[in-house]
């Protein structure tokens, strides 16, 4: 498979390494010096995009114009999802996006949903804590937001999530997300359920970036020759 990498930073280089290990070919590497939006002939079967929230939507739109399937790992653009969904359908394109490509994180999502269902009728208060490297732009992380949406869907007393400095907030219908930024931390997410007498928690800790890169390449392999807007739940058959 011929892959174009859009965003040749730390993640882009890790994706290249994993793709080569899986016998794929990297045909183009786009970065600030060689912007993807200037590209006319990419010559790839699929693109993998990890850049910044202010670029991701334009990159997806350009991929649709080029009839280039794209896997998107950039987060922080969720407000534009409806327009991307319409564009993908109208142009018969291929986009797969995820807040996190780690296969373990998607198991974490499923366990969070099951734990939330168990806790719905119990006297425990949930909270989410996410910790990432200082270079991560969006806050809270897309993974934390996805986790929050799963919990809110399972525990009907919650109406929304909010960024918070504490696991306890006054509004009983608000799910708090605590966001931390520490140097050289690939990513840790924790769901905790606390009561006056104890606490139950579920944690996913990334040891390095390889898990994210591997998931993105597996997603690209899956996306080939498919049409539509997809997520990792489609890849892992979790829907």
Catalytic site residues? Answer: 132, 136
- The residue length of the chain stands at 239
The answer to whether the peptide bond before residue 140 is cis (omega within 30 degrees of 0) is yes
Strand-pairing partners, residue 27, are none
What residue ranges in the chain does DSSP mark as E strands? Answer: 2-6, 25-30, 46-49, 70-72, 94-97, 125-132, 160-164, 174-181, 188-194, 199-205, 228-230
Count of CA atoms in the C-beta half-sphere (13 A) of 6: 29
Written as six digits, the tokens of 78 are 């969720």
Q: Which pair of structure tokens corresponds to residue 220? A: 């690209």
Helix, strand or coil for residue 89? helix
Burial call 138-149: b when 16+ CB within 10 Å, e when fewer: bebbbbbbbbbb
201-233: b (≥16 Cβ within 10 Å) or e: ebebebeebbbbbbbbbbbbbbbeeeeebbbbe
Are 145 and 170 spatial neighbours (Cβ–Cβ below 8 Å)? no
Helices 10-21 and 210-223: crossing angle in degrees, nearest 10, is 60
């Amino acid at each position: 498979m011929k892959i174009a990498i859009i965003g040749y930073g730390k993640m882009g280089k890790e994706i290249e390494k994993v793709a080569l290990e899986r016998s794929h070919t990297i045909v183009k590497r786009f970065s600030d010096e060689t912007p993807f939006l200037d590209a006319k002939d990419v010559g790839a079967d699929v693109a993998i995009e990890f850049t910044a929230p202010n670029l991701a939507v334009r990159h997806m739109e350009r991929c649709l114009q080029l009839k280039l399937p794209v896997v998107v790992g950039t987060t922080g653009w969720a407000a534009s999802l409806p327009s991307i969904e319409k564009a993908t359908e109208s142009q018969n394109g291929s986009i797969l996006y995820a807040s996190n490509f780690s296969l373990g994180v998607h198991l974490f999502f499923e366990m969070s949903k099951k734990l939330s269902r168990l806790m719905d009728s119990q006297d425990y208060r949930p909270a989410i804590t996410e910790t990432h490297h200082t270079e991560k732009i969006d806050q809270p992380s897309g993974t934390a937001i996805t986790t929050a949406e799963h919990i809110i869907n399972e525990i009907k007393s919650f109406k929304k999530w909010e960024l918070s400095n504490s696991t306890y907030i006054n509004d009983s219908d608000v799910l708090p997300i605590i966001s931390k930024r520490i140097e050289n931390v690939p990513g840790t997410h924790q769901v905790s359920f606390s009561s006056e007498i104890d606490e139950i928690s579920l944690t996913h800790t990334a040891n390095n970036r390889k898990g994210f890169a591997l998931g993105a390449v597996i997603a690209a392999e899956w996306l080939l020759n498919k049409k539509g807007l997809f997520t990792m739940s489609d890849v892992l058959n979790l829907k």
